[in-house]
């Protein structure tokens, strides 16, 4: 449960960053942000794999670049479903999905699989032989 909440906060943070830096994305209130983050997680877990399988030939033909469009479609679908979340077009949706993905990737480096925040220990190597 803790891991789920961390992922929800990370996705909400990514949505907020996307709204801040991309002019075509607008979120009215913070509760719409949380609902959009929750729904984006559900869409990415349930609907996006189906779209990826259906568009596999096109993805192979474009050497994987069509995945950006699939991510934008998922992002745009969430904007269509959540009333206080609007996206001006597919271009803004693709850019927003890239920002949310990069934010999630960066934040996931600090959160483990169990949802705990991981601390990296620095190991000092001296160059002496240990006989």
Instruction: Name beta bridge partners: 26.
Output: 86
| Tally of domains within the chain | 1
Give a yes or no: residue 129 inside a domain.
no
Per-residue pLDDT of 7-24, as tens digits, reads 888 899 999 999 999 999
Please indicate, yes or no, if residue 117 is contained in any of the structural domains. no
Residue 57 belongs to some domain of the structure: yes
Residue 91 placed within a domain: yes
Give the containing element (helix H, strand E) for 27: strand 25-27
pLDDT digits (tens, 9 = 90+) for 40-92: 999 999 999 999 999 999 999 999 999 999 999 999 999 999 999 999 999 99
Residue 119 within a domain: no
Q: Which residues lie closer than 8 Å to 23 by C-beta, 6 or more apart?
A: 88, 92
Q: What is the pLDDT of residues 92-111, one digit of tens each?
A: 999 999 999 999 888 877 77
Residue 125 in domain? no
Q: How far apart are CA 77 and CA 24, in angstroms?
A: 15
| Structural domain of 49 | 2-108
For the whole model, what pTM was predicted?
0.79
Asked if residue 126 is part of any domain, the answer here is no
Q: Is residue 56 part of a domain?
A: yes
């Amino acid at each position: 449960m803790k891991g789920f909440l961390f992922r929800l906060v990370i996705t909400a943070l990514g949505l907020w960053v996307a709204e801040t830096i991309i002019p075509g994305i607008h979120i009215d209130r913070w509760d719409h942000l949380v609902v959009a983050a929750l729904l984006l997680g559900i869409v990415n877990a349930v609907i996006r794999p189906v779209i990826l399988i259906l568009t596999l030939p096109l993805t192979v033909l474009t050497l994987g670049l069509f995945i950006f469009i699939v991510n934008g479609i998922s992002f745009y679908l969430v904007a269509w479903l959540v009333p206080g979340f609007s996206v001006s077009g597919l271009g803004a949706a693709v850019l927003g999905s890239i920002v949310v993905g990069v934010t999630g990737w960066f934040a996931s480096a600090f959160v483990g699989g169990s949802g705990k925040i991981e601390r990296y220990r620095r190991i000092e190597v001296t160059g002496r032989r240990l006989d």
